[in-house]
Amino acid sequence: MFGCDPGSEGSPGYSLYCPRCVPSGKKNPKCPKCEGTGKVTMTRCPNRCMTPSARQMFSAFGWYQQGQLPLSGGMLDQAHSYVKAMEILSVLDGMHQKIQIEKNQNG
């Protein structure tokens, strides 16, 4: 599906929201990642592109959605990087859900 993974150059690829522009909610014409489009075209398997820390955050996000926090207390007990990552992933998850709803409505 994604051209996994060697020799994927020239495959049609897929688009992701720009990781630099999405958190701010604004397209930046000077962005070196998306060049102002707000989207980045990828040709590699998403699993091959994720860093170990990104994998940990996606795993943590699954637990977060279920109300399970990594420490015994609430959000004030969480590391700043964890809180920010959950905020960004929540926005991306909402965008993904919106796209899926629109696809289902449009057939």
Please tell me the predicted confidence (pLDDT) of residue 60: 85
Pairwise CA distance, residues 3 & 80, whole Å: 36
Mean pLDDT across 28-40: 86
- pTM assigned to the model: 0.47
Q: How confident is the model at residue 57 (pLDDT cuts 50, 70, 90)?
A: confident
Pairwise CA distance, residues 24 & 55, whole Å: 22
User: In terms of Cα–Cα distance, which of 83, 72, 2 is closest to 41?
Assistant: 2
pLDDT over 90 for what percent of the chain? 0
